[in-house]
């Protein structure tokens, strides 16, 4: 194992067992990174308390077993009973060599691989994808990549809005235009144009309104072929448009991943029966509701979760509970991830609770709302386009590529044209994705092209450049990257040591990022790594004359840094250039 904290945990567990007489598998040695040393062991505190012993004595006894002498050059008992560890250069070198020999650069697979459903993106048929979908799409896509990398079976689900009352007016509008054979192309500069036309008619004409309502009923019956054909055409055209956006953005979502709201409609009556049989269904003001404990309205009264309106219609709660059932019972998922904005938080918590009361969402199955805040403009309001509507996602994607092009034209005019075009995309899309993913998802962030495209600071271009620079070291040396992977690095200078420790944290950081569903943790790590590398590179000559003896060792550190940067960015869906 490459993570030294993980490697020594097993040794320490045995040492604590020998000292305390407790079974080793019951012991957590609590090994943490430390500011003052390479690592700190805090396990003596809790164990001594449990045994009524002095923690410093327990810590000292663990040190005295000599278990750590092979891997530590210093072991110091400090404070109330911590053990501060300093690793030997040889141990660090071996751990680095183990990471270098590993395809996964030292990242352990998950101990318990699961089936995970990740629900993300979820745009609406006949509507534009806007800046809100930027967040749910990119956060979800990064989590999919990371969960897969850790060995989970990941099912992507794009829960598109493809059902409900607006479809009455949409279908009726198409009937007026000539039915299912109507030429229907989504205008990429205004994907909601058709919707707006239908809406205008709906608002202007009672006759149209009546037809639209009747059409909704017909749609819900699912028995009228012409209605279903028009509906399907609307959905298909929108899916074409979503594919354009996903393709340009380079996210993993495909047609097959669409499991829209319509999918759950036929399953809802059976779900209501189950709620009823479980005694969870009640009536309130003529509606069917579930009382979910712990939720109150503004007046402090219990808040009902409405699963069937007075009119008999189903709503989001009905569909979302059914969706949980489907994911747990049909897909056998134990991890249900929902990448949806923060405003849906209470709704989702109520849905999860209802599914739990129904006995469906129970351990090991669990659901997580991976919520997110807003993307803001300079005015601190939701980022808008010139027309004042929320900014369209496709416009942002195109602008990112355009800005990438301008940067490449200015910085790398010597590259061949096709490489310039590729690099423009890598830079622009990388910057857009990284700006999103490096911000703590629960917070709002201000959208700023100049900042996200800067070559300084916590940005994609900075990290991409760091990667390309390492590749150029190898080109200059005329050494194959893979050729140095068998070299065990010799850790002598403080900057080599700092870089070694940083590299070896990658494993823990990836696991922590996934545990917290927070991609910005990985971003912060990669930025720190690139900075640590810069300090190393400034202090430790790699190719200079007179440094032949350390050359291979330092090249090995360079290679592992580049691989870690590339792997980390790949987990975020960001490509890295070999040169720029």
Which residues contribute to the site for ligand ARG (CB under 6 A)?
A: 119, 122-124, 159, 161, 340
Report, in Å, the least distance between residue 579 CB and ligand ARG.
40
Report, in Å, the least distance between residue 340 CB and ligand ARG.
5
Q: 217: helix, coil or strand? A: helix
Report, in Å, the least distance between residue 256 CB and ligand ARG.
17
* Chain residue whose CB lies nearest ligand ARG: 122
Q: 252: helix, coil or strand? A: coil
- Please state, in angstroms and rounded to a whole number, the distance separating the CA atoms of residues 552 and 484: 6
Nearer to ligand ARG by Cβ, of 107 and 317: the residue is 317
Contact assessment for residue 168 and residue 281, using Cβ atoms and an 8 Å cutoff: no
Distances in Å between the Cα of 328 and the Cα atoms of 49, 335, 344, 505 are: 42, 9, 21, 34
Report, in Å, the least distance between residue 159 CB and ligand ARG.
4
Nearer to ligand ARG by Cβ, of 134 and 555: the residue is 134
Report, in Å, the least distance between residue 486 CB and ligand ARG.
47
Report, in Å, the least distance between residue 354 CB and ligand ARG.
15
CA angle 328, 332, 335 (to 5 degrees): 70
- Please state, in angstroms and rounded to a whole number, the distance separating the CA atoms of residues 102 and 99: 5
Nearer to ligand ARG by Cβ, of 61 and 122: the residue is 122
CB-based burial of residue 380 (10 Å sphere; 0-12 exposed, 13-18 middle, 19+ buried)? exposed
Nearer to ligand ARG by Cβ, of 124 and 458: the residue is 124
Q: Which residue, among 564, 404, 546, has the nearest Cα to 470 in the 3D structure?
A: 564
Question: What angle do helix axes 519-539 and 506-515 make, rounded to 10 degrees?
Answer: 160
- Phi, psi dihedral angles at 542 (to 5 degrees): -100, -50
Question: What angle do helix axes 417-437 and 131-149 make, rounded to 10 degrees?
Answer: 90
Residues in the chain: 580
Report, in Å, the least distance between residue 102 CB and ligand ARG.
36
Nearer to ligand ARG by Cβ, of 127 and 520: the residue is 127
Nearer to ligand ARG by Cβ, of 381 and 579: the residue is 381
How many Cα atoms occupy the beta-carbon half-sphere of 125 within 13 Å? Answer: 27
Nearer to ligand ARG by Cβ, of 161 and 461: the residue is 161
Report, in Å, the least distance between residue 133 CB and ligand ARG.
6
DSSP class of residue 305 equals E
The CA radius of gyration of the chain, in Å to the nearest whole number, is 28
Handedness of CA 52, 58, 59, 60 (dihedral sign): positive
Element (DSSP H or E) covering residue 296:
strand 287-296
Nearer to ligand ARG by Cβ, of 340 and 566: the residue is 340
Report, in Å, the least distance between residue 161 CB and ligand ARG.
4
Report, in Å, the least distance between residue 129 CB and ligand ARG.
8
Nearer to ligand ARG by Cβ, of 161 and 168: the residue is 161
Report, in Å, the least distance between residue 157 CB and ligand ARG.
8
Nearer to ligand ARG by Cβ, of 216 and 463: the residue is 216
- Please state, in angstroms and rounded to a whole number, the distance separating the CA atoms of residues 565 and 577: 11
Report, in Å, the least distance between residue 123 CB and ligand ARG.
5
DSSP class of residue 389 equals S
Helices (H) and strands (E) in the chain, counts: 21, 13
Nearer to ligand ARG by Cβ, of 253 and 566: the residue is 253
Beta bridge partners of 85: 39, 75
Strands 39-41 and 287-296: unpaired
Nearer to ligand ARG by Cβ, of 336 and 431: the residue is 336
Question: What angle do helix axes 4-20 and 506-515 make, rounded to 10 degrees?
Answer: 90
CA angle 226, 229, 231 (to 5 degrees): 110
Report, in Å, the least distance between residue 286 CB and ligand ARG.
26
Nearer to ligand ARG by Cβ, of 123 and 166: the residue is 123
Report, in Å, the least distance between residue 263 CB and ligand ARG.
11
Strands 31-33 and 39-41: antiparallel
CB-based burial of residue 386 (10 Å sphere; 0-12 exposed, 13-18 middle, 19+ buried)? exposed
Q: Which residue, among 76, 108, 140, has the nearest Cα to 1 in the 3D structure?
A: 108
Nearer to ligand ARG by Cβ, of 124 and 502: the residue is 124
Contact assessment for residue 44 and residue 58, using Cβ atoms and an 8 Å cutoff: yes
């Amino acid at each position: 194992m490459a993570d030294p904290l993980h490697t020594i945990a097993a040794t320490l567990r045995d040492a604590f067992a020998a000292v305390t007489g407790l079974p080793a598998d019951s012991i957590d040695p609590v090994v943490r990174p430390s500011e003052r040393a390479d690592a700190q062991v805090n396990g003596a505190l809790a164990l001594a308390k449990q045994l009524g012993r002095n923690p410093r004595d327990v810590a000292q006894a663990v040190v005295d077993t000599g278990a750590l002498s092979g891997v530590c050059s210093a072991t110091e008992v400090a404070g109330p009973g911590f053990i501060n560890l300093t690793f030997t250069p040889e141990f660090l070198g071996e751990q680095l060599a183990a990471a270098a020999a590993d395809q996964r650069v030292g990242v352990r697979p998950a101990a318990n691989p699961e089936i995970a459903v990740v629900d993300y993106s979820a745009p609406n048929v006949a509507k534009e994808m806007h800046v809100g979908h930027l967040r749910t799409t990119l956060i979800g896509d990064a989590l999919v990549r990371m969960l897969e990398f850790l060995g989970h079976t990941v099912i992507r689900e794009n829960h598109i809005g493809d059902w409900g009352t607006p479809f009455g007016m949409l279908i009726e509008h198409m009937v007026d235009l000539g039915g299912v054979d109507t030429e229907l192309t989504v205008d990429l500069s205004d994907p909601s144009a058709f919707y707006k036309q239908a809406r205008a008619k709906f608002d202007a004409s009672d006759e149209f309104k009546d037809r639209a309502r009747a059409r909704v009923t017909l749609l819900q019956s699912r028995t009228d072929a012409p209605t279903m054909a028009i509906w399907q055409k609307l959905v298909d055209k929108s899916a074409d448009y979503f594919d354009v956006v996903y393709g340009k953005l380079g996210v993993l979502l495909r047609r097959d991943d669409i499991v829209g709201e319509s999918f759950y409609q036929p399953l809802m009556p059976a779900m209501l029966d189950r709620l009823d049989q479980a005694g969870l269904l009640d009536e309130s003001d003529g509606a069917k509701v579930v009382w979910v404990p712990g939720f109150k309205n503004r007046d402090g009264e219990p808040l009902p979760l409405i699963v069937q309106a007075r009119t008999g219609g189903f709503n989001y709660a009905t569909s979302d509970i059914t969706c949980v059932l489907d994911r747990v019972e049909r897909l056998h998922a134990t991890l249900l991830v929902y990448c949806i904005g923060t405003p849906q938080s209470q709704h989702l918590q109520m849905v999860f609770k209802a599914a739990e009361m129904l006995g469906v969402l129970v351990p090991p199955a669990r659901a997580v709302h991976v919520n997110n805040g807003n993307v803001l403009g300079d005015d601190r309001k939701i980022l808008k386009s010139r027309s004042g509507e929320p900014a369209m996602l496709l416009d942002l994607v195109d602008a990112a590529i355009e800005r990438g092009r301008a940067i490449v034209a200015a910085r790398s005019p010597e590259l061949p044209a096709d490489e310039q075009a590729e690099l423009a995309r890598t830079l622009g899309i990388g910057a857009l994705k990284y700006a999103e993913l490096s911000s703590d998802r629960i917070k709002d962030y201000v959208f700023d092209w100049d900042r996200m495209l800067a070559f300084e600071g916590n940005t994609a271009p900075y990290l991409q450049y760091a990667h390309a620079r390492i590749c150029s070291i190898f080109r200059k040396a005329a050494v194959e990257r893979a050729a140095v992977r068998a070299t065990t690095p010799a850790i002598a200078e403080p900057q080599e040591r700092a870089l070694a420790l940083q590299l070896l944290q990658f494993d823990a950081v990836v696991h922590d990022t996934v545990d917290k569903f927070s991609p910005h943790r990985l971003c912060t790590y990669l930025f720190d790594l690139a900075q640590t590398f810069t300090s190393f590179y400034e202090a430790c000559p790699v190719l200079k004359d007179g440094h032949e003896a350390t050359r291979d060792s330092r090249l090995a550190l360079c290679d592992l840094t580049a691989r870690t940067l590339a792997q980390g960015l790949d987990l975020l869906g960001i490509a890295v250039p070999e040169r720029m």
